[in-house]
Amino acid sequence: MENTQTANSLLAKLNELIEYLANPTRFMRFSRKILPWLMGASALVLIYGFYLAWFKAPFDYQQGHTVKIMFIHVPMASLAMMIYALIAVASIGSLIWRHPLADVAAKAALPIGAVFTFLALVTGSLWGKPMWGTYWVWDARLTSMLVLLFLYLGLMAIWEAIDDHSRAGRAAAILAVVGAINLPIIKFSVVWWNSLHQPASIKPSGITIHADILTPLLVMWLGFTLLFIVLHLKAMRAEVLRRKVEAMQLRRVERANR
């Protein structure tokens, strides 16, 4: 009962914040204030994470120090999925509630999500060669991650191909929402099909990683998550400014034509 009340009050607070930030001017003011703090926190956590990963984490009894690849592969892969989930939610916000910053948030997250997905695939592949004996297999987890990369690239192509923001936003939002079906496929691919990829090690039923390996992993995950928030806010600010510049240029052309 208490948990439900806490969850409801948290959701109400989040809703208030989203409504407050619906005004681009207010968003610019708010993001300018919090960005230096977030940048500092992200740098500190990432430096501490790298220190733990390189100098403190022991080697795995089977993988040796190759386990260090996991400290970057796992945060990249989980963030790649979380960023897509954020894009899908923002796209719903844009399609249904026409939130003025929803399509800005969705568009700004695309290159970051694409780079993280690409890095998850490459680091996984570089881990796979010494551990599995191959860089790539057409396995359900790997293939669905590759599909995620193509979804990111497809959405970026839509934004580039259509000049009108509202039309591009609508087309990208529809594809993003439809593409969200890929997220449960990625998540449960290791359960539904026979896969070379190992199942999740952090589950509600328990954690199967030793604390010495889990701690650097979680610190790196937090560092990359903070970095994503910084990059996303910066990219959103750039997009808001770009639209202002375009609107001003358009007004100048209209005035000149009069």
Partner 1 sequence: MSELEAWKHADFIYACYLLVGFFVTALTLWIFHDERKQNQLLNELGEQNDKQ
**Binding footprint of partner 1 on the chain (CB under 8 A):** 59, 61, 64-66, 68-69, 72-73, 76, 111-112, 115, 118-119, 122-123, 126-127, 129-130, 227, 231, 234-235, 237-238, 241-242, 244-245, 248-249, 252
Shortest distance (Å) from residue 184 CB to partner 1: 27
Shortest distance (Å) from residue 91 CB to partner 1: 21
Measured CA to CA, the distance from residue 156 to residue 158 in angstroms comes to 5
Shortest distance (Å) from residue 63 CB to partner 1: 8
- Residue nearer to partner 1 on the CB measure, 137 or 180: 137
- Residue nearer to partner 1 on the CB measure, 123 or 189: 123
Residue count of the chain, please give it. 258
Shortest distance (Å) from residue 35 CB to partner 1: 10
- Residue nearer to partner 1 on the CB measure, 60 or 215: 60
Shortest distance (Å) from residue 154 CB to partner 1: 19
- Residue nearer to partner 1 on the CB measure, 140 or 240: 240
- Residue nearer to partner 1 on the CB measure, 65 or 98: 65
Shortest distance (Å) from residue 205 CB to partner 1: 29
Question: DSSP 3-state helix, strand, coil percentages of the chain (rounded to 5)?
Answer: 80, 0, 15
- Residue nearer to partner 1 on the CB measure, 156 or 185: 156
Q: Which helix (H) or strand (E) holds 206?
A: strand 206-207
- Residue nearer to partner 1 on the CB measure, 88 or 114: 114
Cβ atoms of residues 232 and 110 within 8 Å: no
Cβ atoms of residues 219 and 49 within 8 Å: yes
Shortest distance (Å) from residue 79 CB to partner 1: 11
